Structure 1
């Protein structure tokens, strides 16, 4: 199919969409609960798990199918990912064709010139960049998933009308400016400042931001800066973060040269400087002093697409690995005949299935109006970025020497994938975020129960997984359901014991908190695959039950180990010994041991 035909097809698909938004058409959630939060309380929240979200109408599915066909045509016929990587840029003619395809305004409402896709539709279309060119995915994602997402989520009607049309068309690009030289994961420590002028008409913005995707090509910037805010109760003035919409045309906005990066090279990354940039008061995004909430809302909302995007990557890599295993002969037999290869291929399939299940459960529930999904979004981001890396690593291993060669192309995917465990919240910080949120909920429950003994007695009786589910689940999934129910109960009691043991100092126990997050992630994945495979079975397709049961059995095994480690004093001693090595190496500014040959 030619690009022209693909564009016409895409425009036809756009014309077909005459539907009420899913968030309005579907029944809205009545509580602020989430499945992930319930895990910590020892609850298997069935209403959050079953049925697996089915949020697309037949018309929407047809639209997505046609869009995907147009997207495949663009990536196969026009985009050259290897050339983009080598040239560290996207050619202008490709950018024009991306504009023509509407790729810069996928979730913008039609009245502002966008395509008005739902979260699920956007996620599915995002699989294409995952399959073909992650650099393109970062470029478009930095523009719409976070760059101008704040205007969509928190902008006034005037701000939306002013900025969204040109952003949706790709006439101008946007970027998200939060990270600074001295402020990475600790977003609240930013130094960039904005002070109201004497006339009260403009904020004067000064500071710098680093590693900004699209920073060198953007005309519109979502910028976070400290502003002096007077406390209404005390009268005291304190610095609080505020979000601003900044135009390059305001003056005082400059950028450095494109950064030289390991991967995603075709996406522009640059430092951005603000020097006495005058920003109209009308360009405050959200409330004065409310910038931290705006930033977190943008990031939480933007993370959902990563799981779907990396599903596209994993599917492509699995296909490459299987093709090689089926055709490469070593020691008389094809690679496919060896258990070691079969085990790798199975693991890759299971990782992709679990990731895809969580990704589309997340965006489906968002489309249904779920008010709370921050833990699920963090879990999906962590799991997707780590799983895609693991699948890529195993693909290189299966291909052997060929996988290491540049011309084969897998090495580019490995370079591109490495950033996903770092940006939009590092996996390390997000794990602490997950664990501490759950620990906080348990702490409140323990406090309200009165005595510790009473609470633990209540928990150990209440959370025993004795009662059957209200939801009818396929009989072949019964063992997996039993494992999930039992593991949730054990997990909640185990975490409660750790809260009682460490009290407020549990925040300092990062090794323990990482284990807690790892279990929560596995429990969320088990719930997602059970729900997805059960819904498929209800529709007559029982093929996914094998995948779900295999994943749940393996996750249950790993959870058992993690729970044993959390409770073991011997493991705690080992952890302390390992941490001591780390502290001594840090004190020594390097490797601790001397050369064994004495030279």
Structure 2
């Protein structure tokens, strides 16, 4: 159900509309903010350089207490929290800068902070009453305690709407009794504040139905049991900890319900919508460190009488990391600007940032290890750790497969409303895959934009902007054809949905880098903008080639053959194993 008419840049693209006023000009810090942030980041960097040893943290699967205490002293656990709740009151863009800087030093440490800041306390801020905010936000913002977000269950990861934890009204009518089992919950074993979710009976249409409700639990309440704790057993991010939680007859007072009973799914999904930006920023920070290590190795390692960086097949990998990090950063801070601006549906944009940045970080880690060769495979170098740490990013905050389905389904949802049955068929899977959207497509195209970007850019960027307009038409045509062809069954065309999603991802990346480069061009001499122009033009060419290919595959593909191959592989092994 649409709850608000909020504009969305990416969702408008699916209807062939370029809402350029949402993305131009590219967001830049207001006067004075850059100096303040530079001073803050300088202090933070000195602390991290002195205290964070990622290799040791990984080997010992632990973060020393004095590191967490030092972060608390610098306000890291309350970066975006308003000052009236003892936070720093940073914008989303400023918060992303800090997350990026922490992730440059250690991915596991970034996960600890993000589990607390990006999702652990976000629901309290978004949906808590004033009394609830004053009860829990100050202690979390000061770092007196850590926070957790407990949604995932053994049988329900992406399928968040069907979790099995359950809360019933207490027999005396005061509060709830919660029973359930959560798994892989960041910071859980040491959290003093836990946002969690359970099915509860609510009345709808005159009958009782189950709906998810959000609760805030305090870590010392009776009825909470911490089970297995994962640290060193994991592939990567070993300095962070995840744990399972058992709720056994836990009494939860009514004043610990977030929002209203039955509204928990909305709470969870909107928390995750915003939390994905922190993950993207962390991926950018990690990729920067990977690039530094790759360049250092390639310039110092000599083969055949010269540094290996001089060989194109090595230099090309470094160029790839540089380019994709630039794109991911541009997307991340464009999206941060949308969130800070307010009144905009950014659910697609944060999903796109998460997908692109997580896959970028994985490619960067893989390429860097390849550059280092056999040395990269050894634990006395950082390359294998980068690879292990990067792998989780494609799983956290919604798997990339689920998010690709969401990007496409949410994008075509309003496009399909001309047939009510198709629109409804799309809304249910969007809910089921665990993402919430509040975008309402304006039926009158002129009300939100046009097929052309109504902005002027520097001449070196103009060709890329024209290409963006052309590619937007491809996305719209492909989306409309898919809906018309498959109608209600479009939700099952996952190969095709992924192609639409990838087109949207490339389009958002392209407009982000054009806007970013234009901002540099506007304030710098033309020659100083040349490196940015090269990056934009290279991405425009590569993204354009992918969009063209996906456009063709929307029309003619071998999806049926792939399904047959998969079915045969499963049947063959069922015969062996059955």
TM-score by length of 1: 0.88
Instruction: Indicate whether 1:224 and 2:197 are aligned.
Output: yes
Q: Assess if the C-alpha contact under 8 Å between 1:64 and 1:125 holds in 2.
A: no
Instruction: Indicate whether 1:279 and 2:266 are aligned.
Output: no
Aligned residues: 544
Q: Assess if the C-alpha contact under 8 Å between 2:14 and 2:412 holds in 1.
A: yes
CA distance in 2, matches of 1:418, 1:466: 39
The alpha carbon displacement at 1:60 in A equals 2.1
CA distance in 2, matches of 1:479, 1:57: 30
Instruction: Indicate whether 1:40 and 2:27 are aligned.
Output: no
Match of 1:373 in 2: 346
SS at match of 1:488: helix
Equivalent residue in structure 1 for 2:462, among 459, 474, 478: 478
Match of 1:106 in 2: 79
| Structure 1 residues 466 and 269: CA distance shift in structure 2, 3 A | closer
SS at match of 1:542: helix
Q: Assess if the C-alpha contact under 8 Å between 2:151 and 2:160 holds in 1.
A: yes
Equivalent residue in structure 2 for 1:335, among 308, 312, 315: 308
Match of 2:414 in 1: 441
The alpha carbon displacement at 1:581 in A equals 1.5
Match of 1:138 in 2: 111
Match of 2:435 in 1: none
Equivalent residue in structure 2 for 1:542, among 507, 529, 536: 529
Instruction: Indicate whether 1:120 and 2:107 are aligned.
Output: no
Alignment of 1:338-417 (within 5 A): 338-417=311-390
CA distance in 2, matches of 1:31, 1:534: 30
Deviations 1:213-242 (A, max 9, x none): 1111112110100110012xx310001000
| Structure 1 residues 324 and 107: CA distance shift in structure 2, 3 A | same
Deviations 1:507-537 (A, max 9, x none): 0111111111111100111111111111111
Match of 1:503 in 2: 487
Equivalent residue in structure 2 for 1:255, among 213, 219, 226: 226
Q: Assess if the C-alpha contact under 8 Å between 2:18 and 2:451 holds in 1.
A: no
CA distance in 2, matches of 1:297, 1:325: 43
| Structure 1 residues 577 and 204: CA distance shift in structure 2, 3 A | same
Match of 1:532 in 2: 516
Q: Unaligned stretches of 5+ in structure 1?
A: 1-29, 449-458, 593-599
The alpha carbon displacement at 1:466 in A equals 11
SS at match of 1:229: strand
Deviations 1:199-258 (A, max 9, x none): 221210001100111111112110100110012xx3100010000011122200011131
Deviations 1:157-188 (A, max 9, x none): 00011111111111111100101111110001
Match of 1:4 in 2: none
CA distance in 2, matches of 1:467, 1:284: 45
Q: Assess if the C-alpha contact under 8 Å between 1:585 and 1:591 holds in 2.
A: no
CA distance in 1, matches of 2:458, 2:209: 57
Q: Assess if the C-alpha contact under 8 Å between 2:203 and 2:209 holds in 1.
A: yes
SS at match of 1:239: strand
The alpha carbon displacement at 1:49 in A equals 2.1
CA distance in 1, matches of 2:267, 2:166: 17
CA distance in 2, matches of 1:138, 1:467: 40
CA distance in 2, matches of 1:506, 1:158: 45
SS at match of 2:541: helix
The alpha carbon displacement at 1:371 in A equals 2.2
The alpha carbon displacement at 1:94 in A equals 2.1
CA distance in 2, matches of 1:584, 1:81: 45
Match of 1:317 in 2: 290
Q: Assess if the C-alpha contact under 8 Å between 1:223 and 1:246 holds in 2.
A: yes
Q: Unaligned stretches of 5+ in structure 2?
A: 422-442
Query: What's the C-alpha RMSD, in Å, of the aligned pairs?
Result: 2.2
The alpha carbon displacement at 1:470 in A equals 2.7
Q: Assess if the C-alpha contact under 8 Å between 1:321 and 1:399 holds in 2.
A: yes
Higher RCO structure (Cα 8 Å, ≥6 apart)? 2
Instruction: Indicate whether 1:302 and 2:275 are aligned.
Output: yes
SS at match of 2:220: helix
Match of 1:587 in 2: 571
Q: Assess if the C-alpha contact under 8 Å between 2:298 and 2:371 holds in 1.
A: yes
The alpha carbon displacement at 1:476 in A equals 0.9
Equivalent residue in structure 2 for 1:209, among 151, 173, 182: 182
Q: Assess if the C-alpha contact under 8 Å between 2:17 and 2:451 holds in 1.
A: no
The alpha carbon displacement at 1:107 in A equals 1.4
The alpha carbon displacement at 1:103 in A equals 1.7
Match of 1:239 in 2: 210
TM-score by length of 2: 0.91
Deviations 1:551-597 (A, max 9, x none): 011110111111111111xx2xx2211211211222233799xxxxx
Match of 2:541 in 1: 553
The alpha carbon displacement at 1:355 in A equals 0.3
Alignment of 1:24-35 (within 5 A): 32-35=6-9
Deviations 1:329-360 (A, max 9, x none): 21223222222122212211110111000000
CA distance in 2, matches of 1:528, 1:168: 32
SS at match of 1:224: strand
Q: 381-390 vs 485-494, which deviates more?
A: 485-494
| Structure 1 residues 470 and 94: CA distance shift in structure 2, 3 A | closer
CA distance in 2, matches of 1:350, 1:531: 15
